[in-house]
Amino acid sequence: MGWQARQTKASGTLKPVRLIPYGEDPLAVLVDTLLTDQASRLPQLDHVTILLPDLAESQRLRHLLLTHHKKPGALLGPQISTLRSYLEANTPPAGSILNTHAQELMLVEVLRNHPLSGQGNPWHLADELLKLFEALQLGPGEKLSMESIPTAFSNEAANIQLLWQAWQTQLDTEKATTRANLYSNGLSNALFLEQQKDKQIYFLGYDWLHHAELDFLLRYLKKGQAQIFVSPDQPLWSQLHQAGISLPENNEKDELGTLLNSVYADDRQVLKDRAKGYRKKPSPLVGRISIFKAGDAEQEARAIDIQARQWLLDGHQYIAIVTEDRRLARRISALLRRANIDAQDSAGWPLSTTTAAGTLERWLETVESDFNHLPMIDVLKSGFLSSPEFSKEAVYHLQLDIIEREGVPHNVQAYRQALTNRTAAPGGKRSAIVEQTYTLLDHLEHAAAPLLHVMSRSALDPESMIDALRESLVRLGLWHGYDLDSAGQRIQQELQDMQQALNHLDLKLDWFEFRSWLGRALETHNFRPALENSPIRIMRFDQSRLGRYDGVIIAGADNQHLPGSQHRQIFFNEAARYELGLQTWEIERQQCFSQYRRLLQAAPQILISYTGESGDSPALPSSWIDLLETFHDYTSEQSIENQDLHQMLTLESAQIESPYPANNPEPAMQPRPAMPLELVPKQISASSHQQLIDCPYHFFAARGLRLREREQIAEILGKREFGSLIHRCLQAFHSNLDDLDGPFAQTVTEDNRANATQMLESISLQVFEPELETNFEHRGWWQLWQGLLPGYIDWQIKRAETWTVSDVEKEYRRPIGNTSTQLMGKIDRIDQQSAGFGLIDYKTGTIATPAKVESGEAVQLLTYALLIEETLETVYLGFDARKGVKTESKVDQEVLAQLLPAVEARLVSMLTAIEHGHTLPAWGDDSSCRFCEIAGLCRKPTWHSDGIP
């Protein structure tokens, strides 16, 4: 046995370790111990400090101190803090302290000149490195040093050492320090504590400590100035044991605690044998712990919602919902809100997922994409803009009349021009709405101006960028909208912190780097709505370790979330982490288990829930839950499965009613209307032909009812898409277009390759240049096309050996059977040889597979072949960043000879059937439905099964 608790209360020193039985409230144990230890000095407790891992339970701790203190006089102290804040506050800094934003910025700057920067996103790398530097600083063994490379380090570690040295040099140059340095210095020196001999410190809630933290703790335990409260399953228990601290016996007396200790005993006895001693007794689990297995995630969320509300009705005032499944947490929150219960979500969620951050992102996209209508309309309808410039009428006029009807996809000047054209039309006059729409556009342009200015600069100090962003948001009115929204206020705060981070830093960023920095700030900082007094708290496991509740729900207790899986570490594998004294996955697992184990006794009633399915695959419960259930099955006939909840889920009285009662809609049926003769289209293009094959109802709605405004817009917008720009370049290269260079009049061969390339480059520049000026995103396309262009010339040289270009971008038509419909198609390129034609379709996106083409399922190229007699082959020419320029899904003459008559006969028969009043059923498969524009009309997910023939 090492040194131990020889000190006594009489000598004014503290007993080093106290055990907290799982069944007891840790804060109450601390308060009782502290008031007893300090009885002689009460009510004076200003020499006492209580250190907790976080301050979430500090209010309850103060309340317990006040209520348990029975002696006269108001308590003076104690101080309640975290170890880190306590030391940081008492350690003089050696330079100005950088906040996390500033540290990331500086480290990204260091990484720019280092080989490691090639390993991925520099912001992510910086984030991981900062954590790693701190962990290595607090770990055991050889510390990172400015002189030598630790012998335990591999090449990878040596690289990190070099980075750390560069980082420290940068800090020295900037006369700055980090909170991690301050904390590390505080742990090793703590001079202020050395001078306060009567200071006494209580540690509570720590599961595991870094080596330097443990050293600090042991120093003051040995002096009798500190006391720590631990539970047997915490990894800290082993750390103290290994440090030679004698630990108290775990004499569990509680019946449930004894049983749970047997369930999770770490011994060689098999579970069944361990369970023997508990047979024939009423199980303490029954009525105390129950398990709910849900069929799907929605059912689990609804069951938890019902259980939480039931407990509230039973008078419970403090309910914890503990889960690592953030999606489930948000769903539960939403369900409770339907019942007017605002649960306090202690874990919060990334700021980037809030509507406020989403609107900011859409505004930046609006400016970057030259006022593209999609992000712009989202901003205008966000609900954050309340200034008179954004009247609803003006927004709808802009969307419906200018963007949709006039087909203007982006550019403020183009929107204005379309407005002018409309009012100049016969009968058109400038109404109040038109005037409001002009004002709206002026306002948008004015708000974007500061951002456009900084975006146009190659590199700028980030302070000016934040100023410009703020100014833009103020002008837009979004800043004012943020004043009234708690997530918006957090964004304002974050921008302020980012600005502060830049004090004294001499950095230059381009717009892309600034965007990454901003995006990272919103992603890595959480938002927690302030709801201090809610009776229901949703939290992670580590946030539950000091709580005591009336009811606990351990939710999402499947093996993917409890204990979850090992995070992917960028640096060092598990073995190296263990050697370097860094936190390993095994330690994390032990911490999670001790938190879970404590929760099982943290309330008189516990519900554990999990979902039996995850996506398409069955999910397993956590092995800890499995063990509990199996052990119980060995000991008792009574199930601990929560049947009540299953039953309540079926009860209407357990559901929250809508405040707007209405009859439930009739179950929807699979639509299969007939098309009135006058609605049958007079022409059918390759894409409508495809639509008819994929889903006749889609064809009916889009082509018959002409519900295809969105599609038309998409087509108009598509003209500016990457594929269309390439089409235009190649059209000019092979034919005469007035406004562009070209065509290249000779056959392209190896001999004239340079001239051909030069010509295509010159055409491409003319096509892309106007787009580059107005649209930020197009710069990436330009680079992509520059990379693909030589591949096209290679392909063309080969192609020209057997084919000559006959026509490009040409439209063809012909009647189809005896129907009243014409078949039509615009073919990208028709090549010729003596025996016939080769049809080419340029593709920058997904290409139909050969199997789909040859089975007649993908009909685009076959439709073209129906239009051109003597077609010898059809091919897709793919333009792909990865694969280069390549022909795909080629169909030759022999296959065409078999396929075309069948495809034509099918089309004639379908059109004839439509003309004769046959119905058009909705039968789209998943791939068609995923992108279907009229899915809202067909409502496939709501179809009643009887409606499906």
Stretch binding ligand SF4 (CB under 6 A), from 425-433, 534-542, 650-658, 923-931: 923-931
- Antiparallel, parallel or unpaired: β 822-833 and 836-843: antiparallel
Report in angstroms how near the CB of residue 689 gets to ligand SF4 at its nearest: 15
- Considering beta carbons, is residue 28 or 913 the nearer one to ligand SF4? 913
Nearest to 428 by CA among 401, 408, 409, 403: 401
- Considering beta carbons, is residue 483 or 946 the nearer one to ligand SF4? 946
Stretch binding ligand SF4 (CB under 6 A), from 261-269, 314-322, 449-457, 929-937: 929-937
Of 388-407, which residues contact ligand SF4 (CB under 6 A)?
Answer: none
- Considering beta carbons, is residue 457 or 940 the nearer one to ligand SF4? 940
Question: In degrees, to the nearest 5, what angle opens at C-alpha 625 toward C-alphas 623 and 628?
Answer: 110
Nearest to 918 by CA among 604, 673, 584, 646: 673
Report in angstroms how near the CB of residue 697 gets to ligand SF4 at its nearest: 5
- Considering beta carbons, is residue 403 or 695 the nearer one to ligand SF4? 695
Near ligand SF4 by CB under 6 A: residue from 463, 895, 929, 943:
929
Stretch binding ligand SF4 (CB under 6 A), from 264-272, 315-323, 908-916, 921-929: 921-929
As a whole number of angstroms, the distance between CA 526 and CA 529 comes to 10
Report in angstroms how near the CB of residue 820 gets to ligand SF4 at its nearest: 24
CB 99 within 8 A of CB 500: yes
Report in angstroms how near the CB of residue 687 gets to ligand SF4 at its nearest: 14
Residue 554 in the binding site for ligand SF4 (CB under 6 A): no
- Considering beta carbons, is residue 205 or 696 the nearer one to ligand SF4? 696
- Considering beta carbons, is residue 911 or 922 the nearer one to ligand SF4? 922
Report in angstroms how near the CB of residue 846 gets to ligand SF4 at its nearest: 17
Instruction: Kindly give, in sequence order, each residue whose CB lies less than 8 Å from that of residue 353, ignoring residues fewer than 6 positions away.
Output: none
Residue 837 in the binding site for ligand SF4 (CB under 6 A): no
- Considering beta carbons, is residue 118 or 949 the nearer one to ligand SF4? 949
- Considering beta carbons, is residue 656 or 929 the nearer one to ligand SF4? 929
Report in angstroms how near the CB of residue 672 gets to ligand SF4 at its nearest: 11
Of 681-720, which residues contact ligand SF4 (CB under 6 A)?
Answer: 695, 697-698
Nearest to 694 by CA among 931, 504, 531, 362: 931
DSSP type of residue 509: B
CB 150 within 8 A of CB 136: no
What is the DSSP code string of 115-129?
Answer: GGGGGS-HHHHHHHH
- Considering beta carbons, is residue 590 or 670 the nearer one to ligand SF4? 670
Stretch binding ligand SF4 (CB under 6 A), from 703-711, 761-769, 770-778, 928-936: 928-936
Of 63-92, which residues contact ligand SF4 (CB under 6 A)?
Answer: none
As a whole number of angstroms, the distance between CA 790 and CA 754 comes to 10
- Considering beta carbons, is residue 259 or 695 the nearer one to ligand SF4? 695
- Considering beta carbons, is residue 205 or 671 the nearer one to ligand SF4? 671
DSSP type of residue 390: G
- Considering beta carbons, is residue 182 or 922 the nearer one to ligand SF4? 922
- Percentages helix, strand, coil for the chain, rounded to the nearest 5? 50, 15, 35
Report in angstroms how near the CB of residue 701 gets to ligand SF4 at its nearest: 7
Stretch binding ligand SF4 (CB under 6 A), from 7-15, 93-101, 328-336, 927-935: 927-935
Instruction: Kindly give, in sequence order, each residue whose CB lies less than 8 Å from that of residue 602, ignoring residues fewer than 6 positions away.
Output: 22, 320, 544, 547, 548, 549, 552
Q: Please tell me whether residue 683 adopts helix, strand or coil conformation.
A: strand
Q: In DSSP terms, which residues pair with 49 in a beta bridge?
A: 79, 201
Of 767-806, which residues contact ligand SF4 (CB under 6 A)?
Answer: none
Stretch binding ligand SF4 (CB under 6 A), from 251-259, 620-628, 755-763, 930-938: 930-938
How many residues interact with ligand SF4 (rule CB under 6 A)?
A: 12
Residue 783: how many other CB atoms lie within 10 Å: 11
Q: How far is CA 937 from CA 690, 713, 930, 946, in A?
A: 20, 19, 14, 19
- Considering beta carbons, is residue 658 or 927 the nearer one to ligand SF4? 927
Q: CB pairs under 8 A, 24+ apart, for 877-881?
A: 877/795, 877/840, 877/841, 877/842, 877/843, 878/843, 878/844, 878/847, 879/723, 879/726, 879/788, 879/792, 879/842, 879/843, 879/844, 880/844, 881/784, 881/787, 881/788
Q: Which residue is nearest to ligand SF4 (CB)?
A: 924
Report in angstroms how near the CB of residue 941 gets to ligand SF4 at its nearest: 9
Report in angstroms how near the CB of residue 681 gets to ligand SF4 at its nearest: 17
CB 681 within 8 A of CB 702: no
Report in angstroms how near the CB of residue 709 gets to ligand SF4 at its nearest: 16
Helix (H) or strand (E) holding 812: strand 804-815
Residue 153 in the binding site for ligand SF4 (CB under 6 A): no
- Considering beta carbons, is residue 326 or 703 the nearer one to ligand SF4? 703
Instruction: Kindly give, in sequence order, each residue whose CB lies less than 8 Å from that of residue 24, ignoring residues fewer than 6 positions away.
Output: none
Q: 21: alpha, beta or left, given left = phi > 0 and alpha = psi -120 to 50?
A: beta
As a whole number of angstroms, the distance between CA 673 and CA 51 comes to 71
- Considering beta carbons, is residue 752 or 928 the nearer one to ligand SF4? 928
Q: How far is CA 714 from CA 101, 710, 939, in A?
A: 40, 6, 22
Near ligand SF4 by CB under 6 A: residue from 721, 822, 928, 943:
928
As a whole number of angstroms, the distance between CA 424 and CA 430 comes to 9
Residue 932 in the binding site for ligand SF4 (CB under 6 A): yes
Stretch binding ligand SF4 (CB under 6 A), from 125-133, 292-300, 636-644, 924-932: 924-932
- Considering beta carbons, is residue 707 or 765 the nearer one to ligand SF4? 707
Report in angstroms how near the CB of residue 933 gets to ligand SF4 at its nearest: 8
Stretch binding ligand SF4 (CB under 6 A), from 168-176, 344-352, 373-381, 932-940: 932-940
CB 129 within 8 A of CB 163: yes
Residue 573: alpha-carbon gap to chain centroid = 26
Helix (H) or strand (E) holding 227: strand 226-230
- Considering beta carbons, is residue 132 or 920 the nearer one to ligand SF4? 920
Residue 126 CB burial class (10 angstroms; 0-12, 13-18, ≥19): buried
Report in angstroms how near the CB of residue 816 gets to ligand SF4 at its nearest: 23
Report in angstroms how near the CB of residue 662 gets to ligand SF4 at its nearest: 25
As a whole number of angstroms, the distance between CA 880 and CA 889 comes to 15
Near ligand SF4 by CB under 6 A: residue from 583, 655, 940, 943:
940
As a whole number of angstroms, the distance between CA 696 and CA 704 comes to 10
Residue 935 in the binding site for ligand SF4 (CB under 6 A): yes
Stretch binding ligand SF4 (CB under 6 A), from 299-307, 311-319, 594-602, 934-942: 934-942
CB 599 within 8 A of CB 606: yes
* Total number of residues shown for the chain: 949
Residue 536 phi, psi dihedral angles, 5° rounding: -115, 125
Longest distance between any two alpha carbons in the chain, whole Å: 111
Site string for ligand SF4, 644-683 (x = CB under 6 A): ----------------------------------------
- Considering beta carbons, is residue 699 or 722 the nearer one to ligand SF4? 699
CB 64 within 8 A of CB 52: no
Near ligand SF4 by CB under 6 A: residue from 575, 934, 948, 949:
934
Report in angstroms how near the CB of residue 682 gets to ligand SF4 at its nearest: 22
Residue 525: how many other CB atoms lie within 10 Å: 19
As a whole number of angstroms, the distance between CA 699 and CA 679 comes to 11
Binding residues for ligand SF4 (CB under 6 A): 695, 697-698, 922, 924, 928-929, 932, 934-935, 938, 940
